[in-house]
Structure 1
């Protein structure tokens, strides 16, 4: 992911950017299940919620700090050099994960190599199919954040704000979405360790539904749109943390890699389907 993102600064054609972005997201699809499986292996069972809440909080904070840092780098060194800098945090993340993986192997030194298989039968017996049904329904309604930014931009622009100012405000409001997501994911992790993952997930889905209701109205006020973004960020923060925690509780260690892979595939297919359908209808 780090190499592909940094290499975008070397591109001279649009197709090259598209190819590298596809490679980066493919790498992310491989990385995310491994990360979640590793985290579940390292965290004690009574702290799964806090572990995944902290991870989601860090991811959302990165989505707040990253664009602001990128904007500063673009002003300071230019667009292409700023893209090269994107390699640095990715490389540091790879080193950190390698250290964590070594620690996990030390704690599970008795593990023996297993054949590469998806273990669908074992996961079904563990209750994964039943858990995936509400998750799939939620992801089918989880449209890309860019569509929410587009909706906010149009609402602000129609409210007698210039297009440039409306776009800037919408992006700033989206930063609020990620900030609320970080805080609520962290708090939700503590809640998960004291409650059912299904209750936390349902609460997150309800907040997300309220956010969509807000975006469906003709809200031209930045404050009202901030509330809608905050509800969306809070909803996704609770839902994603609950999903990862639920799978950690359902699956034994040797099934978690396959389980988180299936979870990631369900999320990706749902997000792609919902975003494509809403994009066409919009």
Structure 2
């Protein structure tokens, strides 16, 4: 743990408590909205709009962080927006208020992501970034274990008392905001930034693609092709339900997946720093392909449990690794823009991925959906095998 600085610890604790708040509501919100009369179509459109807003915000505010040379204000404001959005859901009888709440939460995510990841990158060397991003991802994902567990425990004693749960989720959000005040801005970012003299319009960050180096473009192209086929985890959860698991077991298996994800993120990050980021990412893609091909044919609860275990390994081997890899191939003063643009486009691709998966499921059934997705994961792995992408910008 000698490579984990105080700043990384603080950011990780902020993410932990924020994710506790968010994940307390994630499995509950669709049930609550449906119980007060909202259609599945409305819920789907709501989440789609929220993801597109978050995706755009990651690119724009990441670029703005590089332009201004500031990181901490974006982190503070972003986490604050997400925290205050939770209690608004208690006014869920009004569709406009529900929409505002979700958009505020997603804008908050967009504001903070690029700046936060740039801080994490600055707290590591190119040889230790995978473990730093892995540690942060482990703490963040631990919130995805604790949040649903707390929600399940509360609803066990107070069934359908959703309103108070929305207020309860404010508490970990406030704790997260408190931790952000322990962050201190480093000396002003380098004035050699490529964006200093540019007009910072609402779409200016999109021009980064042309200005970025070839390694970034080749890497992000492969990542985005994968993102276009990497649909929502909801489809895996639906498959678990289809094989006959009860509702509480389905939620339990989702918690189990996040526990595996959290437990392996830091160790795999350390290993990636030793063997190389590309090798670890390819390992993760291979595991992903196995999971989806397996889910295409599986009919037993035991194999579903194995698939979710492997899925946790895949997430641990790719999520933090991809950001570490990106930050290694771009200059320090472009990190927030580079990661922000990638994660923004990733969110938009994920929206279309879920649409495509739903369409395939509707027309051809679950097996075709999972097998096609697994097949494209194999193609992306082949792309990275034959494409030369540097792992380190240092000479």
**TM-score bin (small chain):** 0.7 to 0.9
Q: Cα distance 1:98–1:39, how it changes in 2: closer, same or farther (>3 A)?
A: farther
Higher helix share: 1
RMSD: 2.2
Q: Report the more deviating stretch, 200-209 or 18-27.
A: 18-27
Name the residue aligned to 2:276. Answer: 196
Aligned residues: 269
Worse overlay, 66-75 or 10-19: 10-19
Alignment of 1:79-228 (within 5 A): 79-100=162-183, 102=184, 105-106=185-186, 108-109=187-188, 111=190, 114=196, 116=200, 118=205, 120=208, 124-125=212-213, 127-156=215-244, 166-221=246-301, 223-228=302-307
8 Å CA contact 2:224–2:345 kept in 1: the answer is yes
Kindly indicate whether residue 323 of structure 2 is the aligned counterpart of residue 244 of structure 1: yes
Q: Which runs of 5+ in 2 are unaligned?
A: 1-81, 362-395
Give the TM-score normalised by structure 2. 0.63
- Identify unmatched segments of 5+ residues in structure 1: 158-165
How far, CA to CA, are the matches of 2:254 and 2:211 in structure 1?
A: 37
Q: Is the 8 A contact 2:89 2:166 kept in 1?
A: yes
Structure 1 window deviating more from structure 2 (123-132 vs 141-150): it is 123-132
Check whether the contact 2:149–2:255 (CA below 8 A) recurs between aligned residues. no
Q: What is the distance in 2 between the residues matched to 1:61 and 1:121?
A: 33
TM-score (norm: length of structure 1): 0.87
Contact 1:60 1:182 in 2 (8 A): yes
Deviation at 1:258, TM superposition (A): 0.5
Does the Cα contact within 8 Å between 2:209 and 2:217 map onto a contact in 1?
no
Q: 127-136 vs 81-90, which deviates more?
A: 81-90
Aligned mate of 2:146, from 54, 65, 73: 65
The answer to whether the Cα contact below 8 Å between 2:90 and 2:163 also exists between their aligned partners in 1 is: yes
8 Å contact 1:29–1:264 — kept in the other structure?
no
Match of 2:118 in 1: 37
